[in-house]
Amino acid sequence: MQVLPPALEQLVEQLARLPGIGKKTATRLALNILRRPQAQAQELSRALAMLHQSIRLCANCFTFSETDPCAICGNSRRNSSVVCVVEQSADLLAIEKTASFQGVYHVLHGVLAPIDGIGPDELKIKELRQRVVAGGITEIIIATSSTVPGEATASYLLDLLQKEPVNLSRIACGIPMGMDIKYADKYTLARAIERRYSPA
């Protein structure tokens, strides 16, 4: 039995395709959009329509950008010899928010996931190698997540690039700031002990 009018049902279906949004949340969002002034729904639809027209990938680091090169690659104050490799543009934004990194990035657009058919060719790995081979890079920081696919991708990249004349490093992971160590899970704690550092 059709409960929602078809136009609403269609919107629910589209919203429910987004990650983290089930049918229930999609219905709540669709009803919320319907209750708002029509102009707001039009603004939303205009923004969606513009998305693919105005945003492209930076040809250097492959982040989403309205300009090519992106604002980071095009900024002469950034240190282009240090490249931080991230999974997604969202990770780049998270690191940018820390204001602690002055280098540039390389966005892989995913992680290796053989079960889902995502191998090295599906990611921007060949492009990373080309950037390294082209020269001018002294350090590569692998900042993929500390999940199983994130670690597998990091190992793959470290293997791939180990013969290149660049310093390779992996971002540290350990106990979150302000956390009592007895509440840390054993894997995090083991890693924190294994990769300890001496505060000089």
> Does residue number 73 form part of the binding site for Zn ion (CB under 5 A)?
yes
Euclidean distance between the first and final Cα of the chain, in Å? 69
Minimum CB distance to Zn ion, residue 108 (Å): 13
Contacting Zn ion (CB under 5 A), which of 11, 12, 61, 128? 61
Helix 23-35 to helix 38-54 angle (10° resolution) is: 120
Which is closer to Zn ion, CB of 69 or CB of 150?
Answer: 69
Residue 28: phi and psi, rounded to 5, are -65, -45
34: part of which helix (H) or strand (E)? helix 23-35
Q: Smaller CB distance to Zn ion: residue 70 or 142?
A: 70
Q: Is 89 in the site for Zn ion (CB under 5 A)?
A: no
**60 makes contact with Zn ion (CB under 5 A):** yes
Of 58 and 157, which has the nearer Cβ to Zn ion? Answer: 58
Return the beta strands (E) in the chain as ranges: 56-57, 64-65, 79-86, 103-107, 139-142, 167-170
Query: By CB under 5 A, is residue 92 in contact with Zn ion?
Result: no
Cα–Cα distance measured from residue 93 to residue 72, given in angstroms and rounded to the nearest whole number: 11
Least separation in angstroms between CB 89 and Zn ion:
10
C-alpha dihedral (2, 13, 52, 50), degrees to nearest 10: 50
70 makes contact with Zn ion (CB under 5 A): yes
Nearer to Zn ion, 71 or 172 (CB): 71
Rounded distance between C-alpha atoms, residue 61 and residue 53, angstroms? 20
Shortest Cβ 128–Zn ion spacing (Å)? 13
Contact residues: Zn ion, CB under 5 A: 58, 60-61, 69-70, 73
